[in-house]
Structures are given as C-alpha cells and as structure tokens.
Amino acid sequence: MYKARPMSTKKTFYVVTFTDPQDGEVKTLKAKTIYDSPLGIGFVQISDFIFESSLLVVNPQAEDLAKRFKDTKSLHISLYSILTIEEVGEDHEGLALKKDRSTLHVLPTPHGAK
C-alpha cells in the first residue's frame, strides 16, 4: 500500500476520469488531493474539488458535476470505477480530439458465472 502524500509546493492538481456508478457514464473531475480511502483497500478518496466558473464556454457536464458535488467534502470511489488519474500542472488545457468516438462498455456478468 502506498503512503498518501500531500500536494507538492508546485501548483498541480489531479484529473480523475471514472465511470459513474449511478448512470454508467464516463465523467471527469478535477481535485487537489487524492489519498487512500479509510473505507478500505478497494477505494480512493478524492477531495478539494476544482470547478472552473470563469470559463466563457458553457459546459453542461461540468456544471452538472459542480452542482452534484458542491457540498461534498470528499468522494470515496472504487478502484474499479477509475479509468485514469492524471497529475497535471496549473496550465493544463487537456486534449482536444476532433473525432473521438471511443466508448467504454461494461457488460454485466451472467449470474452463476465463475
């Protein structure tokens, strides 16, 4: 098990991409801290969320996440739901893919399968 480390003195943050267990959609959150969750080995604790409100372009998905997590102190999410965790600098702009058609489909396991 790794030891949680506080954020460094550099202005970095984390971009967490995960599958939302409520609706199965892939979502992305920005946060300042990520630790091992006290809930157990299979969870990660994400806190100090970053929601950008000074953007000129309206992003409905980002607004929905900001509303959903506005009063959330920390999110404990299963390792199996996390797709990627990126540690990036303050000037991170993200990827701009012109024709991104990638999707992730998780098929249910048949009952009784071993």
Of 11 and 82, more confident: 82
pLDDT at 40: 84
Which of 55, 5, 52 is closest to 28 using CA atoms?
52
Task: Select the highest-mean-pLDDT range: 6-10, 46-50, 61-65.
Answer: 46-50
Integer Cα distance of 19 and 25 in angstroms: 6
Q: What is the pLDDT of residues 19-55, one digit of tens each?
A: 998 889 999 999 999 999 998 889 999 999 988 776 5
| Mean pLDDT value of segment 65-78 | 89
Of 61 and 81, more confident: 81
Q: What is the pLDDT of residues 72-107, one digit of tens each?
A: 899 999 999 999 999 888 665 555 545 555 555 555
